[in-house]
Amino acid sequence: MSDGALSQDEIDALLAGVDTPSSDSGSSGGGGSEGDRQVLQDFLSSNAAALSSNLSMMTGSTVTLKGPDVSFVGRDTFLGQLPDTVTVVKADYSSGFPGEHMFIMPEDAAKSIASLMNKEENIELDEMALSMIGESIGTIVGTQITALTGKTGNKSIANVPPTATNVPKAVAALPGGDFALAAYQLDLGDGTARQFWEVYGSGVAADIGQSLRGGPASQASPKAASNGMGMGMGMAGMHPMGGGMMGQPTNVQAVQFPSLMQGVTAQEQGNIGLIMDVFMEMTVELGRTRKLIKEILSMGEGTIIELDKLAGEPVDILVNHKLIAKGEVVVIDENFGVRVTEIVSPMERMNELG
């Protein structure tokens, strides 16, 4: 009989903000059908090579992603497989198959990826490093969505912009009940096998499985399509790489992109209008450099600091420390200004971060 004290499992569940499951069989198929499990595994396996190519391009290393093995498990079973600290990247689907979707990797694997992307050893998982991890996962999800669209005909699939956090495993906000777990083996070019997991909420996994088998879920609802054309596009819709070539199309046509403002309802315009008067920090960066502490301490008046940009090279324009454009410096009366010459694409942002 309980003495009123919480068990460690109950404490972990409360920290994660989820209900303590009454049972956790951990068996394959516990939270979904064997058909869902198999079709999801086949789909993800068919895209592993494209994802490996994406990660190789972003890290500059020969990355191999093997697998995955897909199973339906519960929270307790999965937590038993995780190291004490993990990096969680939330990339929920906002339309098409709306619901929970995330990637989880050990802290050391996240550090290795960020180090390769930033060309810096022993990197810490600070805000910039986690942003790079989020960008890399955004590209992966974009490839998956392109492949899903091609196989299901559902053109409304979109995800929220991925966000990465580094947390104790007990705090990871996993889906409730049994969920679909895709377990990959990740090799970052050094011959070391690292664990890399992709998690789908049970409802998302079932919808994707049914859609891949040609069921009703493959037809996007009008509501989902409307949401997909709104603010839910995120990083995913911007990367038509790799996965979109996996099928065998018989009738290829040029993609026609409608105006972003077409189809926006008065209510949606009103919602956007609510944030139009919000200030955001915009900065123009002339260049950067790195110095030893002793060099910084020895600086004085007249010291010249050489930056990493060439004279006449475009300067970077950042909003909330995120690169959005490039421009050239101009003088307006007695003030400096910058003329925008190029809007930076998400992939170019990744290259800048690397």
Q: What is the pLDDT of residue 182?
A: 93
Q: What is the pLDDT of residue 101?
A: 95
Handedness of CA 255, 256, 260, 262 (dihedral sign): negative
| Range in 77-81, 103-107, 158-162, 308-312 the model is least confident about | 308-312
Q: What is the pLDDT of residue 261?
A: 47
Give pairs for 105-112: CB < 8 Å, separation 24+. 105/186, 105/194, 105/195, 105/196, 105/197, 106/82, 106/194, 106/195, 107/83, 107/166, 108/194, 109/186, 109/188, 109/194, 109/195, 109/196, 110/164, 110/166, 112/188, 112/194
d(C-alpha 239, C-alpha 264), whole Å? 23
- Tens-place pLDDT, residues 213-236: 885 543 444 333 333 333 333 333
- Residue 292's φ and ψ, nearest 5 degrees, are -70, 155
- Residue 199's φ and ψ, nearest 5 degrees, are -120, 130
Confidence of residue 318 (pLDDT cuts 50, 70, 90): confident
Q: Taking the model in full, what pTM does it have?
A: 0.55
Count of other CB atoms within 10 angstroms of residue 92:
17
Q: What is the pLDDT of residue 105?
A: 93
Adjacency order of strands within the sheet including 322-332: 282-285, 315-319, 322-332, 335-343
Interhelix angle 127-152/34-46, nearest 10 degrees: 110
Structure tokens at 10: 């109950």
Average pLDDT over residues 95-118: 91
16: left (phi over 0), alpha (psi -120 to 50) or beta: alpha
Average pLDDT over residues 50-74: 89
- Tens-place pLDDT, residues 7-31: 555 555 555 444 444 334 333 334 5
Confidence of residue 288 (pLDDT cuts 50, 70, 90): confident
| Range in 40-49, 101-110, 226-235 the model is least confident about | 226-235
d(C-alpha 50, C-alpha 146), whole Å? 11
The mean pLDDT of the chain is: 77
Average pLDDT over residues 84-89: 93
Structure tokens at 183: 């377990």
- Residue 14's φ and ψ, nearest 5 degrees, are -65, -40
